[in-house]
């Protein structure tokens, strides 16, 4: 799958029953940094679901609204809600033009969701998207396995590492977490 999304890094990690989703704060337009403290992660479904985005802000917010609708329709079934969102995203004439990728997680799952119909749940409970995603993914996998950090610590450190390498990401980090099933 070839995604052209640049300009951010979002990471989700599940570890020892905790879940964390975080993102850097940089917004770029072309080669120019226009904001350094953007919030790209949010709580959904009363804090039971965490989500982050890479791509166009308005497009991501549209997808968050659609995801909220799916979570209402399929309460307690994040997988089904995401599959239904991906189906709509891929087939609806308006939605398929949206330029974003999502990371979505709850206390039991982490997913990457795209407009290509991808709903990917990684085997190792680590997912990352955006231009700094490959760097953050590698760092998070290593930190999750070889450090004593909790899920939020792994996300934070992976984003810091990515922010040092990726010119479209920075080190202004926001992390949300679900600990023992609660935010």
CB of 172 closer than 8 Å to CB of 26: yes
Report the phi/psi class of residue 125: left, alpha or beta, with left for phi > 0 and alpha for psi in -120 to 50: left
CATH number at residue 66: 3.60.20.10
Tell me, yes or no, whether 78 lies in a domain: yes
108 is a domain residue: yes
| 81 beta partners | none
Q: Residue 38: what pLDDT? A: 92
- Is 111 among the domain residues? yes
In a domain, 175, yes or no: no
Give residue for tokens 């991906």: 86
Instruction: Give the model confidence (pLDDT) of 117-146 as tens digits.
Output: 899 999 999 999 999 999 999 999 999 999
* pLDDT above 70 (res 182): no
- Domain range for 73 is 9-170
Indicate if 179 belongs to the active site.
no
| Domains of the chain: total | 1
Candidates 8, 9, 19, 28; catalytic one: 8
Residue 180 has pLDDT above 80, yes or no: no
Residue 49 CA from chain centroid, whole number:
11
178, part of any domain: no
- For the residues 86-100, what does the mean pLDDT come to? 88
The model's confidence at residue 6, banded by pLDDT at 50, 70 and 90, is low
Is 1 part of a structural domain of the chain? no
Q: What is the pLDDT of residues 169-178, one digit of tens each?
A: 999 999 999 9
Identify which of 82, 112, 91 has the alpha carbon closest to the alpha carbon of residue 100: 112
Q: What is the mean pLDDT of residues 15-32?
A: 92
In a domain, 176, yes or no: no
- pLDDT tens readout for residues 32-77: 899 999 999 999 999 999 999 998 888 889 999 999 999 999 999 9
CA gap 83, 78 in Å, rounded: 9
Q: 7 pLDDT exceeds 90? A: no
Q: Within a domain: residue 125?
A: yes
First to last CA, the chain: 32
Nearest to residue 27, comparing CAs of 4, 51, 61, 56? Answer: 56
* Top-confidence residue, 7 or 143: 143
């Amino acid at each position: 799958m070839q995604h052209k999304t640049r300009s951010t890094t979002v990471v989700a990690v599940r570890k020892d029953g905790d879940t964390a989703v975080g993102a850097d704060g940089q917004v770029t337009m072309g080669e120019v940094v226009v904001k350094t403290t953007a919030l790209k992660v949010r709580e959904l479904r009363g804090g039971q679901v965490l989500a982050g985005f890479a791509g166009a802000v308005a497009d991501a917010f549209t997808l968050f609204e659609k995801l909220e609708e799916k979570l209402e329709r399929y309460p307690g079934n994040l997988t089904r809600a995401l599959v239904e969102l991906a189906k709509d995203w891929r087939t609806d004439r308006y939605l398929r033009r949206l330029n974003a990728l999502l990371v979505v997680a709850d206390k039991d799952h982490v997913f990457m969701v795209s407009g290509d119909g991808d709903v990917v749940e990684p085997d190792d409970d680590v997912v990352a998207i955006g231009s700094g995603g490959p760097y953050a993914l590698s760092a998070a996998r290593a930190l999750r396995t070889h450090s004593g950090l909790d899920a939020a610590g792994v996300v934070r450190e992976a984003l810091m590492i990515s922010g040092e390498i990726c010119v479209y990401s920075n080190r202004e980090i926001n992390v949300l977490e679900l600990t023992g099933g609660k935010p």
